[in-house]
A and B are shown apart, each in its own frame.
Chain A
Amino acid sequence: MALFFRDTNNLIKNIDLFIEVVDESLLVFQQGVLHYLDKDFDRFQEDIQLITTLEDKADVLKRTIEADLYNNALIPEYRGDVLHLIDKIDDLADTAKENLYQFDIEMPKVPDEMKNDFRRLSEASLLTVGQILPAVREFFYQSGLVNDKIHKTYFYEKEVDKIGYTLKRKLFKEIKVLKFSEKIHLRYFALHIQQISDIGKKIGDILAILSLKRNL
């Protein structure tokens, strides 16, 4: 019996591992941002190396999952959507890595007054994806509980937008120590951090449709 399910079990393991790797990469991203804000550049560099490794691992797993799904002709009616979902989850890891790289390359000047805001923004952004990745796991097992987590994702994504808006407003209206160009530069970093929650929301949309399809 196990012989019939060998390929399937391997594929399930790979999918679980892939989600874990992406989850870890997001945690490393958050740590990286915090280390940068605290000016702990040694640890920041370690975070960059770690996130690079994790992102590469996620890419390899993604390709393996795609190949296995096609080779074993499993779930043909959902395959396209599931692969699209996997692709979007991989975008999370890619975005997290790129954002951290940009912190490293561009070295934005973050005044002390803004550090807490950036911390809050990155935490909120991670909360959004913190809901959606378990939702993805739930979808693969039982689609009934998926919708609760999707709603929470949407809620946190809106919160991220509000925090982002408040941050930018504060940056341009209240902060006097920075030049206009520095403010613009910093604004983009806020956008980069918000991007992660936006991708989380898109994953929520895909999950919602998949969950509907499964119930038909």
Chain B
Amino acid sequence: MIILFLLSGLLIGFALGYQDLFLLLGAGSKRKKKSVWYLVIFASIALFTGALTNTDGSLAFVGELTGVKQIQVAFMILASALITTTLLRIKFRIISVSHAVIGSITGWLLFVDNTLPLNKLLAIIIIWLVTPILSAFLSAGYLTLLKSSMRRLHLHILKIGRTLQILLSIALLVGAYSIGANNIANVAGVYLPVFEGTTIHILDKEINTEIALVFIGALAITIGLLVRLLFKTKKQDLEIFEFSPETNFSVMASFATVFFLFSSTIFQDLIGQIGLSYPLVPISTLHILTAGVVGVSYKKGFNVYQKDSFAGLAVGSILTPVMSGLIMFVSALAFKSFWLGLNPKSITSNTGHSVTNQEYLNQFFSINDSSVIYNLGVILLLTTIIILGIAIYTRMQRRFNLERERFSDNKAELEAEKDFFKKELSYSEEKTTILQHEIDFKNKELEKFAFSLLEKEEILKKLKDILALVKTTATDGDKKEVISGISNLMLNNLNLSNEKISFYQSVDEMNRDFYIRLSQQFNNLTNNDKRLIAFLKLGLSSKEISSLINISTKSVEMNRYRLRQKLSLLNDQNLLDFVNNI
């Protein structure tokens, strides 16, 4: 049962270790795989050592701040912190577990005492503000120092590379040691007062429970680290570390320095010897690392983060402890109401005055009372379900957002394609319209040409008739001769053969594609049939066609009749309409 209540702490430890790998691997980016494995193993050992050897630091501070004697409350504090970080990570990238834990503890203290230890909280806030600023300045300072040293020492570029690799590894180990010292406070700090003064028996040996707790916590963090290594770290996790080795080192060194100063008891003891002191409180890994990156980027002269990113960072930092405290406070109130519902007589104590929250606490969380165990089991189950549910929801939400992004990208692509095809279509339609206008124009030209030919022929025929008449009535021999000459001249030119040839050629040229379509559909048509159809399309009557091709109107009618048969037209089908629809 105790292990179940330690679950939230172990989960936090696992999550911290899981997250810390990507920070530490950043320092080891672009190395050989074997080197990375060695690095992680040594970092794990350093982390473990840091957690075990710094029990007087931030771990003790958190324990003292919480002062909780009930394991169930300790569980709830860490569960609230876990719920807060899970929920806020949906919206914000950088969320600190340390901030959430302190927020939860604050919420609890408010519920129990209605007061807050303002001095301690002030110290915490000051340290939370100072550490990222210090990290930014240190990273910029380290970079400047490194570059000037490189210039002065005239080292070979390969030696500089190797030296940086070694320095980076040292920074990594110091950072891992300090992270261990810091994170153990988040994992085991709230449980310390619960097990104060108690011992457990393992293999016939009596061990201080606090030490066992710290050991389990450190183990949880290390397991998280190693499990993350087994799942291949994706490239985007290391994006932040796509810097040169000098910059990489500056960031890691500032990170390790700040953590060493504010998490490890070694420096605190040293400072203590000269009469100064400061509390060791849990600080945020992500904030300090981010500040280090910002520091080097400003030194190099470019902005890594935009204004809204900074705003997001600030909002996330404030929201985390507030939300966590709120969740803890509301949960405690809810359980108090739940207990009141089951035990209404507990409103007043035996002495007659109202029971304080602490007294409710003692009644509610009394381990010896078996009726409570069922309630606690329900609480535990609900909390676990909530946490799992949130985790699954977050994952699904992320997947959904990714799909939605992909879908919207595809949609945008398809929309663009659609627009393109629409434009192509309208362009083709415009082109078709233009070409159709050209065809209509050319057809009109042909019509005019045909009509002019016909007119000329009419005129010439009339002249011929007039001359014939004059010739028969003329008496003078000379005049008869002249009239005869003019008549012969006209007869020779009456047939207008050249113009007609030219006209036929124009008609054939204009209707070339039409003739091909005709041949495909009706392969029994002759050239004359096709020409007749072309004349009909031009709107010429049988009489006009007969004049053009020098046959009688009746012959034209016969040709039309034969054409109808060849085209297999029914009696009620109009030849002209049929031809225009081909």
Q: Which of A's residues lie within 8 Å of B, judged by CB?
A: 4-5, 8, 11-12, 15, 71-78, 139-142, 144, 214, 216
Contact = CB atoms under 8 A, between A and B. Distances in A.
Nearest to A75: B161
A4 B161 contact: no
Contacts of A15: 158
A75 B32 CA distance: 12
Contacts of A214: 157
A140 B30 contact: no
Given A141-B154, A142-B154, A12 B159 contact: yes
B158 A4 contact: no
B166 interface: yes
Given A4-B162, A8-B162, A142-B151, A77 B244 contact: yes
Contact of B162 (A5, A140, A142): A5
Given A5-B162, A8-B159, A77 B31 contact: no
B42 to A, nearest CB: 15
A76 B154 contact: no
Contacts of A78: 157
Nearest to B160: A75
B35 interface: yes
Contact of B32 (A8, A73, A142, A144): A73
B156 interface: yes
Task: Identify the 9 closest CB pairs spanning chains A and B, nearest first.
Answer: A76-B30, A75-B161, A8-B162, A74-B161, A73-B32, A140-B157, A8-B158, A12-B156, A73-B31
Given A4-B166, A77-B244, A140 B158 contact: yes
Interface in B117-169: 151, 154-159, 161-162, 165-166
Interface of B: 30-32, 35, 151, 154-159, 161-162, 165-166, 244-245, 300
Contacts of A11: 158
B154 A73 contact: no
Contacts, number: 47
Given A4-B166, A142-B151, A73 B158 contact: no
Given A77-B244, A77-B245, A142-B151, A12 B32 contact: no
A134 to B, nearest CB: 15
B146 to A, nearest CB: 13
Contacts of A75: 157-158, 161
A68 B31 CA distance: 14
A139 B155 CA distance: 11
Please indicate which of the listed interface residues B31, B154, B165, B166 has the most CB atoms of chain A within 10 Å of its own CB.
Answer: B165
Nearest to A139: B157
A11 B244 CA distance: 21
A102 to B, nearest CB: 37
Given A76-B30, A141-B156, A141-B157, 14 more contacts: A4-B162, A5-B159, A5-B162, A8-B156, A11-B158, A73-B31, A73-B35, A75-B158, A78-B157, A139-B157, A141-B154, A142-B151, A216-B244, A216-B300
B157 A73 contact: no
A178 B190 CA distance: 99
B244 A74 contact: no
B31 A12 contact: no
A45 to B, nearest CB: 39
